[in-house]
Amino acid sequence: MAVGLTVPSTIYPVAGVRLSAVAAGIRYTDRDDLVVMEIASGASCAAVFTRNAFCAAPVIVARQHLQDTSPRYLLINSGNANAGTGKQGLDDCLGCTEILAAAADCRREEILPFSTGVIGQSLPVEAFRKAIPHALEQLDEAGWAQAAAAIMTTDTLPKLASCQLQLEGETVHITGMAKGSGMIRPDMATMLAYIATDASIDQAILDQCLRQAVDRSFNLITVDGDTSTNDACVAIATAQTGVNISNLDNETGKQFANALTRICQELAQAIVRDGEGATKFITIDVSGGADESECRQVADAVAHSPLVKTAFFASDPNWGRILAAVGRSGIADLDVSKIDIYLGDVCIVYGGNPAQDYNEEKGQQVMSAEDITVRVELGRGNASLTMWTCDLSYDYVRINAEYRT
Amino acid sequence: MAVGLTVPSTIYPVAGVRLSAVAAGIRYTDRDDLVVMEIASGASCAAVFTRNAFCAAPVIVARQHLQDTSPRYLLINSGNANAGTGKQGLDDCLGCTEILAAAADCRREEILPFSTGVIGQSLPVEAFRKAIPHALEQLDEAGWAQAAAAIMTTDTLPKLASCQLQLEGETVHITGMAKGSGMIRPDMATMLAYIATDASIDQAILDQCLRQAVDRSFNLITVDGDTSTNDACVAIATAQTGVNISNLDNETGKQFANALTRICQELAQAIVRDGEGATKFITIDVSGGADESECRQVADAVAHSPLVKTAFFASDPNWGRILAAVGRSGIADLDVSKIDIYLGDVCIVYGGNPAQDYNEEKGQQVMSAEDITVRVELGRGNASLTMWTCDLSYDYVRINAEYRT
């Protein structure tokens, strides 16, 4: 189902990070659903989390642990979100981290827990107890692909991105994985995503670099407008190469920050391409705004409109719905006579009026593709913003009507 | 498809209002699609319109005409929204009002035009020219039901509400009709709705009374979160009885205002019950808010969540999605430990924790009904707000993927 999404053929291991995935039987009976990620001592780690007030137990615990110390292990399960589970959920989450801490001989605070799956069901701690020793035996630097598959829920493909870059004469690697397909909306933290590099980066700089990257990637996607209770994105710098990123404004820092943003964008776009029921990948370019925030308002209205999304599903150039979404986006004093709208390269609205040389055939041609760009020019200033989303299909309804059955 | 919606058996005519509906062939070939509503001289009229910046040509014209004078005729077509049609759309709209003005021997400014249907197609003025004389011949005080059917687009049933009340020893009537099924979202003006009374009310008081009523009815519903380019709601007071509403704060004024609000709520709820693809009618009660606006924020997040809406479609008590929507509604400092959530009478979350005595069977029983109430108690204050919405089904996708074909 995923739109133009393939698993990258080369995934570079990152020295200092080993991963394993095992079938713990947390919800699924026939697949891996538990991942352990080991981080070498001396690494730094930064993370952003969901802003959903009903955040999951592992989000609460991971946030606390991260304030306390630098993590040595990430413990990630799919199939159960451990959200909406109240005090019991917190106890269960702490219990799982204690099991891993005992088995790996570290402190509980050195473990960051993450969960994704059904909300409101108890976490089966015993399943963790049985599976964790096995997971520790299998840790491997080459474990990224298997781990990316194990954290999937309604995803149809694992999401991975990897690059190497030359910095100060040395080779540095960045590799990341993500999961997510539904309950996806931007402007908050993000989905589950884990990115590691073998560069050396202070925690404060890594944090700044991650937030920049997330703002230009995960926070610019939406599938259905629903922000998850469990979103988290983690960046790890293992310091296993001699390259030290100490300043994001110099040449080395900029190169690294750009590479991290690209990796995050690849993962974010992979989430949209594998959005629940997606048959189209839609890029929404808004330019000519007075500031970035009003560009986001317009992009947001178009990206969340169920009418726009069903028209894309039908490959129907029903541009009136795009125009209606722009019109209701809530910008004060929007002068429609300055607005141009394009479907791909085809102008559909020029100066607020239907474009003279537009015809249905031209629109139809753009809409038939799997990848489609909508461009809105507001004529109010120089700010711009790009968001990515997918269409709304029968399968989105089917997947979410049948999710728990 | 409509959920528990029936056409009222008694529709009281309103003295001073005559209606007719004819088949003009504007888009449909086999049904009425043009309505003329004649208003007796001496009536007052108030209206609210969409706040969509890309509002339709008839909205622009009707707004202007209403500032100019009190209307004698409403001219309403379905099948074509005359929105996104630029200058040509304005010319076409004015042309149609001129045709009616000539045939009815009044000024163009005494006509309010309204359109609903596909966005971005030219209005066939010639179809109006042929049909209008015929429509004028058929004007009838008993024409409400036929008119309500003629303004439908994806609606499956006409929407009517009617009541009589005794005020100061006289009988006063209020009758209204509305259309709308998709591109429905609150917090703006509303859909096409026309309400008439034979009471006598000054324009300023009628305007105030209408805005109050719309705020408590049409502005509290959503089907898909998309605000139309053509929404309008019109109230007409024909002054054909001796009852004069001159003050909304005295007993008579309050009785009338309450009755008008009830009529608007009946019509608004009818729109939701006939929402595109709807199989469930969902009432969202939010109480315990610090103010009404934060109650709306919470209700809005729940009502627009595609995940909540697909769970309702599946009759699945997946309450975690309701909790997640409340959590992402954006209220600052939301303390989840004070939140209770109910599905019907069944408590699912108490003090932010899963309710002790909740079980899936209880939730399933509530979800099996067609009419379902979600109640969220925020524990922050005394404000409350109720919104109405419907579920998200395969048929919503089908209707909107096939709309233009």
Please write the tens of the pLDDT for every residue from A194-206: 888 999 999 999 9
Read out DSSP for A314-342? Answer: TT---HHHHHHHHHTS--TT--GGG-EEE
Which pLDDT does position A191 carry in this prediction?
67
Please compute the mean of the pLDDT values over residues A66-93 and round it to a whole number.
92
Option in A228, A310, A326 nearest B54 (CB):
A326
User: Do the Cβ atoms of A400 and B314 come within 8 Å?
Assistant: yes
Q: Are A247 and A295 in contact (CB under 8 A)?
A: no
Q: Which residue intervals of A159-250 are DSSP H helices? A: 203-215
Option in A224, A354, A405 nearest B120 (CB):
A354
Residue written as tokens 């009541």?
B163
Comparing A230-239, B19-28, B91-100, the range with the smallest average pLDDT is A230-239
> Would you call B82 exposed, middle or buried from its count of C-beta atoms within 10 A (0-12, 13-18, 19+)?
buried
Nearest residue of B to residue A341, measured between CA atoms: B84
Percent of chain B residues topping a pLDDT of 70: 97
Whole-model pTM? 0.84
pLDDT beyond 90 at A310: yes
pLDDT beyond 50 at B188: no
Please compute the mean of the pLDDT values over residues A240-252 and round it to a whole number.
91
Which residue of the set A85, A190, A222, A241 is catalytic?
A190
Which pLDDT does position B405 carry in this prediction?
57
pLDDT beyond 70 at B103: yes
- C-alpha span between A134 and A138 (Å, rounded): 7
pLDDT beyond 90 at A41: yes
Which pLDDT does position B284 carry in this prediction?
95
User: Do the Cβ atoms of B324 and A397 come within 8 Å?
Assistant: no
Option in B119, B306, B396 nearest A320 (CB):
B119
Q: Does ipTM exceed 0.90?
A: no
Give the CA distances from residue B253 to residues A318, B170, B248, B261, in Å, rounded to whole numbers and listed in that order. 46, 14, 4, 12
- Confidence at A229, pLDDT banded by 50, 70, 90: confident
Which residue spans within B168-268 are E strands per DSSP?
Answer: 170-179, 192-197, 200-201, 221-222, 232-237, 244-245
User: Do the Cβ atoms of A405 and B325 come within 8 Å?
Assistant: no
Partners of B320 on chain A (C-beta within 8 Å) are: 81, 83-84, 118-120, 229
pLDDT beyond 60 at B189: no
For A7-40, write each residue's pLDDT tens digit: 889 999 999 999 999 999 999 889 999 999 999 9
Could you tell me how many CB contacts below 8 A there are between chain A and chain B? 201
Nearest residue of A to residue B337, measured between CA atoms: A86
Structure-model confidence comparison of residues A24 and A189, the more confident one: A24
Q: Which two tokens stand for residue A224?
A: 């259905």
Which pLDDT does position A188 carry in this prediction?
45
For A359-405, write each residue's pLDDT tens digit: 989 999 999 999 999 999 999 999 999 989 999 999 888 888 886 65
Amino acid at B321: R
The angle formed by the CA atoms of residues A337, A341 and A345, to the nearest 5 degrees, is: 140
For B361-395, write each residue's pLDDT tens digit: 999 999 999 999 999 999 999 999 998 999 999 98
Percent of chain A residues topping a pLDDT of 70: 97
Question: Crossing angle, helix B86-104 and helix B57-68, to 10 degrees?
Answer: 50
Q: Are A236 and A199 in contact (CB under 8 A)?
A: no
Option in B55, B352, B400 nearest A86 (CB):
B352
User: Do the Cβ atoms of A306 and B400 come within 8 Å?
Assistant: yes
User: Do the Cβ atoms of B398 and A394 come within 8 Å?
Assistant: yes
Nearest residue of B to residue A226, measured between CA atoms: B305
Nearest residue of B to residue A182, measured between CA atoms: B307
Which pLDDT does position B185 carry in this prediction?
66
CA distance A260 to chain B (A): 27
B89-97, Cβ contacts within 8 angstroms, sequence gap of 24 or more: B89/B56, B89/B57, B89/B122, B89/B123, B90/B57, B90/B60, B90/B61, B92/B57, B92/B122, B92/B123, B92/B125, B93/B57, B93/B58, B93/B60, B93/B61, B93/B123, B94/B61, B95/B125, B95/B128, B96/B123, B96/B125, B96/B128, B97/B61, B97/B65
CA distance A233 to chain B (A): 18
- C-alpha span between B153 and A382 (Å, rounded): 40
User: Do the Cβ atoms of A320 and B403 come within 8 Å?
Assistant: no
Please compute the mean of the pLDDT values over residues B176-185 and round it to a whole number.
78
CA distance B137 to chain A (A): 35
Partners of B311 on chain A (C-beta within 8 Å) are: 400-401, 403
pLDDT beyond 80 at A57: yes
